[in-house]
Amino acid sequence: MKKQIENSLMEILKDLLGIDISALPDEAKKYPLLSAKFGIEPYQMIKFMEAVEKKFEFKVSQEDIVDRKFNTFLDIVEIIMKSKIEKG
């Protein structure tokens, strides 16, 4: 399930923001998406979050946003996996 989520998330990043994270070193998955390394603007991050919510049919919790968990590629994968487990 994790690999499938990662692939779908990579697709959204590439289609929506033009970022091919698979072409970057693995450590890039640990960098904040709003960092200078990616050049994503806050409004783009909101669009990205909306696309993720739509694709994976869940809502990112306010807690995850406030606690900066919706931040790196790997963190977002974990949020999605958690939502899938909670759904059953």
pLDDT in tens, 27-51: 999 999 998 999 999 999 999 999 9
Give the pLDDT confidence score for residue 86 in this predicted structure. Answer: 83
Whole-number pLDDT of residue 85: 86
pLDDT at 80 over 90: yes
Task: State the pTM of this model.
Answer: 0.92
> Does the structure show a pLDDT above 80 at 76?
yes
Residue 7 vs residues 16, 43, 68: alpha-carbon distances, Å: 14, 23, 22
Domains of the chain as residue ranges with CATH: 2-87 (1.10.1200.10)
**What's the rounded Cα separation, in Å, for the pair 31 and 22?**
14
Q: Which helix (H) or strand (E) holds 78?
A: helix 73-87
